[in-house]
Copies of this chain bind each other. A is one copy, B any other.
Amino acid sequence: MAKNKCNVEIFGQQYSIVGQESLSYMRQVASHVDEMMRQVADNNPRLDTTRLAVLSAVNIASDYLKLKREYDEILHLMEDEQP
């Protein structure tokens, strides 16, 4: 499958990200990380960038695992409803 390469800016730094998704999707992902980092930075102005990035990853992973739990519950409900 062809890979796309996309240059994005996250928290003032340039990154080149590669993936099978569309360029607009990759930009959306980068923008989500950029927003989360700015939010964490606003709440923790003394954090260095590495810790800021790790804590942003923690926040995003927390959102992901919560959604995963809800998603799995819905799939389970749908299976129970099958005739």
- Tell me the A residues contacting B by CB distance below 8 Å: 10-11, 13, 15, 17, 19, 21, 25-26, 28-30, 32-33, 36-37, 49-51, 53-58, 60-65, 67-68, 70-71, 74-75, 78
Number of copies: 2
Q: Residue A54 contacts which of B25, B53, B58 (CB distance < 8 angstroms)?
A: B53
C-alpha spacing A63/B57, complex, angstroms: 12
C-alpha spacing A78/B77, complex, angstroms: 11
Q: Shortest CB–CB separation between residue A60 and chain B, in angstroms?
A: 5
Q: Shortest CB–CB separation between residue A38 and chain B, in angstroms?
A: 12
Name the residue of chain B whose CB is nearest to the CB of A17: B58
Contact (Cβ within 8 A) B15 A65: no
